[in-house]
Amino acid sequence: MKKFMALAVAAALIPASAVMAQPAPKKAGIEAAGYQWNKMDGKTAEALKLKGDAANGEEEYEVCGACHLPNGAGRPDGTFPQLAGQHATVLTKQMVDIVDGLRDNPTMYPFAKEALKHPQAVADTSAYIETLCIPTDHGKYEGADAATQIAKGKELYEKQCIECHGKNGEGDAKKFYPVIAGQHYKYLLRQMTEIRDGHRRNANPDMVKVIKPYTNEQLVAISAYQSSLKMPGKMCKPKGKK
């Protein structure tokens, strides 16, 4: 594990020019005939079959904390997502998709590529992240019409999203549906816009069908509602309370 940490730190010090000289591969993904969104093989299957050790994962996570913060809260401006409480299966799948060229994330690519050389470290880190409580003070929709937007988003969510993402945004670890409770509004909005517009190649085809007709206004509303969701038993205690 110490070796992995050293390699990860080294990856963080790679000059931007070097990273740009080795771009991530690009696969067609959702646009390819016969694309299987949840096909688990190769590095994904290798990492998923390993039992993660959260205690070891805490040490491994130190590198990740530079961007996603030590508590896994990410950034309210949506540049880095909230990871705390996310399903280990989802975290592993997304890392592999980035390395395989199914999801564009130039910032994360060198880290994910290095990490996947050590599947056990990936399993440990994901296991640790999954244990973290979900912050309650994440980025939310802050418009003056917040109540109206959330109400509109709730209607859309309960009509077409709840079946996969759950009543409280808990997702489904076995089906690789992510936890969205506690996720930042701006991150949710950006991801759904990219999925709708065909820019996220590892999107679930079923979600693409649902989200394709949504207008920008509808995406704002549903993102506002999703960012208001709280997952019972997983949320951090409000500041000032024990």
CATH (domain of 179) = 1.10.760.10
Quick one: 6 and 99 in the same domain?
yes
Spatial distance between the Cα atoms of 231 and 215, rounded to a whole number of angstroms:
27
Average pLDDT over the chain reads: 88
- pLDDT tier for residue 163 given thresholds of 50, 70 and 90: very high
Quick one: 217 and 101 in the same domain?
no
Nearest to 77 by CA among 170, 181, 188, 197: 188
Checking if the pLDDT of 69 tops 50, the result is yes
Q: Which residue has the tokens 């549903």?
A: 222
For residue 155, give its domain range: 146-226
Checking if the pLDDT of 1 tops 60, the result is no
Cα 225 to chain centroid distance, Å, stands at 18
Nearest to 28 by CA among 89, 102, 120: 102
Q: What percent of the chain shows pLDDT beyond 70?
A: 88
Q: Which residue has the tokens 């646009």?
A: 31
At 113-147, the pLDDT tens digits run 898 889 999 999 999 999 999 999 999 999 999 99
The number of domains in the chain is 2
Quick one: 206 and 165 in the same domain?
yes
Position 12 scores a pLDDT of 40
Checking if the pLDDT of 192 tops 90, the result is yes
Please report whether residue 238 resides in a domain. Answer: no
Please report whether residue 141 resides in a domain. Answer: no
Please report whether residue 18 resides in a domain. Answer: yes
Please report whether residue 113 resides in a domain. Answer: yes
235: which DSSP letter?
B
Quick one: 61 and 123 in the same domain?
yes
Mean pLDDT to the nearest integer, 207-235: 97
Position 241 scores a pLDDT of 60
Quick one: 75 and 152 in the same domain?
no
Quick one: 82 and 194 in the same domain?
no
Please say which residue of 106, 131, 156 terminates a domain.
Answer: 131
Mean pLDDT to the nearest integer, 25-51: 82
What is the sign of the dihedral through the CA atoms of 129, 132, 134 and 137?
Answer: negative
Please report whether residue 136 resides in a domain. Answer: no
CA angle 64, 59, 41 (to 5 degrees): 65
Quick one: 50 and 167 in the same domain?
no
- pLDDT tier for residue 20 given thresholds of 50, 70 and 90: very low
Quick one: 103 and 184 in the same domain?
no
Quick one: 108 and 26 in the same domain?
yes
Please report whether residue 139 resides in a domain. Answer: no
30: which DSSP letter?
G
- pLDDT tier for residue 166 given thresholds of 50, 70 and 90: very high
Position 10 scores a pLDDT of 39
Checking if the pLDDT of 4 tops 90, the result is no
Quick one: 123 and 150 in the same domain?
no
Position 24 scores a pLDDT of 79
Spatial distance between the Cα atoms of 54 and 29, rounded to a whole number of angstroms:
32
